[in-house]
């Protein structure tokens, strides 16, 4: 199944044929373990710019650990919105202390400048606009650094993620495509926790205190019911920050 040499930098992925081929390869990877998927990806796109993004949720922590077993120096991009919990920053530093190549990306606009332009607490009035400034725009800059973006989303996290392929695409600001890889799509929450505990992986202690999905402090609460992501932007109808719509 190994096939090397696709020149993403030349924009080869933009052809319909290449995208169709990606869908075939994705289907062929169904049922394979995350380790096998990652090993295939690193081989398939050898020489290309491959990196993870993570906000240090449980799946992200598992994925960083998994990916580093396959490729110890894989870069891990993380966006510091300025609104993260201290516990999240501590997990980030725990991975860095283990030798992970953590690359922090910040919004172009400080919280103070954002308040001056848009008024205070934009997250409470227009969370989509706040996420665009503090998460989506920085992620676009991350995509400029990558040919292959590895992400930790799972299909059963939310209805919006149910159709996620193992191999898909995301679009850079200039319209060109990046391969988007989701090795954990078939995992359940239980699979995630089994991996974290079996391998003694660092994770956010807020997850032991009733939180199930952790983002920015103003927009994160304990979920009211069983919905794993129900504590994110509670009561607003918003379910995604937008980076997975790129
Ligand atoms: S999660 Fe909340 S605080 Fe964070 S960028 Fe989005 S709206 Fe702003």
Q: Is the CB of 123 under 6 A from ligand 1?
A: yes
According to DSSP, residue 82 is labeled S
Residue whose C-alpha is closest to residue 196's, from 72, 95, 76, 51: 95
Q: DSSP string covering 9-22, please?
A: GGTGGGSHHHHHHH
Local structure of 103: helix, strand or coil: strand
Q: DSSP strand E in 80-159: where?
A: 101-105, 148-150
Distance CA 182, CA 148 (A): 11
- Active site annotation includes 241: yes
Query: What are the average pLDDT values for consecutive 10-residue runs of the chain, which has 246 residues?
Result: 43 67 94 97 95 96 97 98 97 98 98 97 95 96 96 89 94 93 96 98 95 92 78 77 86
Ligand 1 pocket: which of 131, 132, 232 to mutate (most atoms <8 Å of CB)?
131
Q: Is the CB of 232 under 6 A from ligand 1?
A: no
**Domains, the chain, with CATH or none:** 8-245 (3.40.50.620)
Instruction: Supply the pLDDT for residue 14.
Output: 67
């Amino acid at each position: 199944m190994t096939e090397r040499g696709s020149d993403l930098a030349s924009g080869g992925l933009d052809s319909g044929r290449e995208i169709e081929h990606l869908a075939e390869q994705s289907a062929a990877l169904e049922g394979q373990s995350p380790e096998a998927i990652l090993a295939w990806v690193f081989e398939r796109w050898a020489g290309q710019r491959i990196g993870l993004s993570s906000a240090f949720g449980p799946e992200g922590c598992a994925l960083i650990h998994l990916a580093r077993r396959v490729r110890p120096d894989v870069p891990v991009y993380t966006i510091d919105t300025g609104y993260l919990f201290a516990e999240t920053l501590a997990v980030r530093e725990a991975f860095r202390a283990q030798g992970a190549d953590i690359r922090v990306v910040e919004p172009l606009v400080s919280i103070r400048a954002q308040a001056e332009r848009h008024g205070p607490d934009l997250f409470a009035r227009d969370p989509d606009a706040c996420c665009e400034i503090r998460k989506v725009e920085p992620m676009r800059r991350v995509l400029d650094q990558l040919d292959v973006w590895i992400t930790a989303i799972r299909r059963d996290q939310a209805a919006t993620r149910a159709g996620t392929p193992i191999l898909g695409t995301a679009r850079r600001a200039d319209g060109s495509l990046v391969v988007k890889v989701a090795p954990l799509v078939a995992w359940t929450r239980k699979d995630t926790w089994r991996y974290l505990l079996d391998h003694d992986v660092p994770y956010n202690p807020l997850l032991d205190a009733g939180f199930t999905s952790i983002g920015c402090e103003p927009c994160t609460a304990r979920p009211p019911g069983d919905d794993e992501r129900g504590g994110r932007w509670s009561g607003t109808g918003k379910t995604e920050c937008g980076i997975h719509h790129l």
